Structure formats: C-alpha cells, structure tokens
Amino acid sequence: LNLSNLSIHEFPDFICNLTQLRELSLLKNNLTSISVHIHKLKYLKEINCNFNKIKSLPDSLCLLSNLVSLSFVDNNIKSLPYNIGSLSSLQQLYLDYNYIKSVPPTISSLNKLTHLYLEQNNNMELSILNKCISNFTNLKQINLNSLQTNLYY
C-alpha cells in the first residue's frame, strides 16, 4: 500500500484493518505518530515512513515478527521502543536523520540484521551499540556517518 506524498497528518485508521498487508509506504507526509494498533498488521514485511515528523515509535510495532525492513529516515524520533529486539525477522533498520540518543540493549537480539543506518543522529551515546555489534553476524552495511557522539563506557 503506497500512501506517499499525500500530505497526510494523521495515521489513517483503516490501515490497521488491512490485516494481510505486506508492504506499507507513507513516505513524505506530515505524520507525527504511528497507530498503536499497527501490531494488527502481523504479515507486514516492510514499512517505510521516511520524511515525516514522527516523534516516537509505538511499543506495539515490536510485535511485528515478520517485519524485514523498518525505515523511518528523517523524522523526529528521539528513542526506540525498548523491545525492538523482538523484531526477530528484521534485516534492515534505517533510522538516519533523527534525534535518537541511544539504542536499547535489546537491539542485540536482531541477529538477522544486514543493514543498520543511524547517520546524523546527533549526540548518540554509542556504548550499548558498541557492545551489540558483535551479535550482528549477518551485518553487511552499517552507516554511522556524521554522528556527533557521546562516548560513555
């Protein structure tokens, strides 16, 4: 389902009723949040909400066990759900150009991860990520370019 470039301000409620949905693109809108009912999309494999104004990701997103690609580039996200490690099928995580200060330790459970992009998240504390990287044995690409980091060990 592609609902990109429509100037949408609120996450459309009907989307969560499309329980067989596999791909969701809400690129370049004016969204500030994602529905807490997103977990109803249990077959969702890809979600792309790049270039919005989303401030946070709901915890219920972590119930999408079939999710392979999660992309929220250029939003206003400050933190990730604690249980992000529950996304057992996740291979691609794109979170460039946000305001993420740190990643939860559960991120180390994303052992299928092949792509991790966190470019331009200023003042990100990297100690947890540093400890987790060795668990990402399938990682092919990682982008931490232009991070202004706080290194705490």
The 10s digit of each residue's pLDDT in 59-116 is 999 999 999 999 999 999 999 999 999 999 999 999 999 999 989 999 999 999 999 9
Query: Taking Cα atoms as reference points, which of 39, 125, 40, 57 lies closest to residue 93?
Result: 57
Dihedral sign from CA coordinates of 146, 105, 133, 125: positive
Question: Is a pLDDT exceeding 60 seen at residue 152?
Answer: no
Give the chain's mean pLDDT: 93
151/14 Cα distance (integer angstroms)? 43
- The percentage of the chain sitting over the pLDDT mark of 90, rounded to a whole number, equals 82
Tell me the torsion sign for CA atoms 76, 52, 110, 16: positive
Backbone dihedral angles phi then psi of residue 75, each to the nearest 5 degrees: -130, -160
Digit-coded pLDDT (tens) for 111-141: 999 999 999 987 788 778 888 888 899 999 9
pLDDT higher than 70, residue 151: no
Q: Are 27 and 51 in contact (CB under 8 A)?
A: yes
